[in-house]
Amino acid sequence: KSKGKKQAKSATKDVKLNAVLGAGIMGGGIAYQSAVKGIPAVMKDINRDALDLGLKEAATILGKGMQRGKVDAAKMAATLNAITPTLEYSTLKDADMVIEAVVENPKVKGIVLKEVEDTVADDAIICSNTSTISINQLAESLEKPERFCGMHFFNPVHKMPLVEIIRGKDTSDDTIAAVVATTLKMGKTPIVVNDCPGFLVNRVLFPYFAGFGKLLLDGADFTAVDKVMEKVFGWPMGPAYLMDVVGIDTGDHAANVMAEGIPERMARLDNDPSTLMYKADRLGQKNGKGFYNYG
């Protein structure tokens, strides 16, 4: 007769209020997605302009929905009302779940995660939307790493179905269950993956970006590459356009983190075109100039 440990099965936490840290490309999209699916979201940034942009993005997505007859005025108002922009940590204190989406910098994220833990309730769940930084490394800044995991949305959040949920070595099963349930409630498809540089999707995507960079150094024309990948190969967007959508700065930070994590596979070139563009302040769609110019 087996003497298996009895495990008390606890109910999965029902997330009724989300908080999103960072109102950039991703934070704005995540707050919108939460609100539109009926989970109100507090959205915090350090910058008033960023909060305005985050809200504007939500309004733009809803406006397009109205044009297509998929959203009515009441839904638009309810969704926008369900997003509370703030510059104050104290507004986060009642959140059941916090999704950190600040800049892709381990130091900044470490500080922000600690500040979050000091603010929220003991049983609140804390997630990071990092693209590449180790969840175990980020967990070191927390006192209760069991309530922490990665929750990696893709850009643009309202269109991309996948969410990678990244289990750190200390993440509890209850945390994973609650994040899976919340992902489904937010209308997305969760997959649970282990912690490694780039997780699953960026492990595939970043070698592709690196290969594209090398092709440019060999003299390829980026518009021709995009055209082939889009029109002939059939992908929704080519690598140059995709890098502009992601953000050249964010992509460059992420490529550095991957190079540190797996140097034998992802070592960077000094003259990587995306690094040169980042230094020249060509950040992609977010500042109107990347591979392409945006009006």
Provide the binding-site residues for ligand NAD, judged by CB under 6 A: 21-27, 44-47, 50, 101-104, 108, 112, 129-131, 152-155, 246-247, 250, 254, 286
Residue 62 or 135: which CB sits closer to ligand NAD? 135
Residue 23 or 259: which CB sits closer to ligand NAD? 23
- Give yes or no for a contact between 57 and 29, defined as CB atoms under 8 angstroms apart: yes
- Who's near 24: CB < 8 A, 6+ residues apart? 45, 50, 53, 54, 101, 102, 103, 286
Q: State the Cα–Cα distance between residues 245 and 85, nearest whole angstrom.
A: 24
Q: State the Cα–Cα distance between residues 184 and 223, nearest whole angstrom.
A: 37
Q: What is the CA radius of gyration of the chain?
A: 20
Q: State the Cα–Cα distance between residues 261 and 166, nearest whole angstrom.
A: 16
Residue 125 or 243: which CB sits closer to ligand NAD? 243
- The least distance separating ligand NAD from the CB of residue 218, rounded to whole angstroms, comes to 26
Q: State the Cα–Cα distance between residues 19 and 34, nearest whole angstrom.
A: 9
Residue 163 or 176: which CB sits closer to ligand NAD? 163
Q: State the Cα–Cα distance between residues 14 and 90, nearest whole angstrom.
A: 22
Residue 102 or 216: which CB sits closer to ligand NAD? 102
CB-count burial class (<10 Å; 0-12, 13-18, 19+) for 178? buried
- The least distance separating ligand NAD from the CB of residue 21, rounded to whole angstroms, comes to 5
- The least distance separating ligand NAD from the CB of residue 138, rounded to whole angstroms, comes to 10
CB-count burial class (<10 Å; 0-12, 13-18, 19+) for 133? buried
Q: Which residues pair with 86 in a beta bridge?
A: 44
- The least distance separating ligand NAD from the CB of residue 249, rounded to whole angstroms, comes to 7
Report the SS3 class of residue 245. Answer: helix
- The least distance separating ligand NAD from the CB of residue 219, rounded to whole angstroms, comes to 28
Residue 15 or 112: which CB sits closer to ligand NAD? 112
Catalytic site includes residue 152? yes
Is the bond into 156 cis (omega within 30 degrees of 0)? Answer: yes
Catalytic residue among 13, 44, 147, 152: 152
- The least distance separating ligand NAD from the CB of residue 86, rounded to whole angstroms, comes to 10
Residue nearest ligand NAD by beta-carbon distance: 24
- Which stretch of DSSP H or E encloses residue 177? helix 173-185
Question: What are the catalytic residues?
Answer: 152
